[in-house]
């Protein structure tokens, strides 16, 4: 799993992006398309997903804890051999 801070993307912008991806009449965003392309490589089967954070008040407490104080968006790779449904609620 990768965690990515999106510099220049605030809470509202990330939430807008997420809501666009949830509506079937919108085309997938570049973020979703690039993640799908990234996941499709055979050498990346170990990646179970990518979590994106808005850059609002990112706090790096230590290597085990990140508090964004903002919004997050997780794109799962459910086709990974390492995928588990336990990952589903990680960023909700």
Over residues 31-44, the pLDDT tens digits come to 889 999 999 988 89
User: What mean pLDDT do residues 61-79 have?
Assistant: 76
Q: What is the pLDDT of residue 64?
A: 65
68, pLDDT greater than 60: no
Q: Which pLDDT belongs to residue 65?
A: 63
Residue 27 makes CB contacts below 8 A (sequence gap 6+) with none
- What is the spatial distance between Cα 85 and Cα 72, in angstroms, rounded to a whole number? 18
Q: Specify the pTM.
A: 0.76
How many Å separate Cα 32 from the centre of its chain? 9
């Amino acid at each position: 799993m990768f965690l990515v801070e999106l510099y220049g993307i605030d809470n509202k912008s990330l939430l807008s992006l997420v809501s666009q991806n949830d509506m079937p009449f919108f085309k997938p965003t570049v973020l979703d398309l690039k993640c799908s392309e990234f996941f499709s490589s055979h050498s990346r089967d170990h990646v179970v997903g990518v979590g994106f954070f808005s850059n609002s008040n990112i706090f790096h407490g230590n290597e085990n804890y990140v508090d964004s104080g903002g919004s997050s968006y997780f794109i799962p790779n459910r086709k990974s051999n390492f995928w588990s449904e336990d990952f589903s609620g990680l960023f909700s």
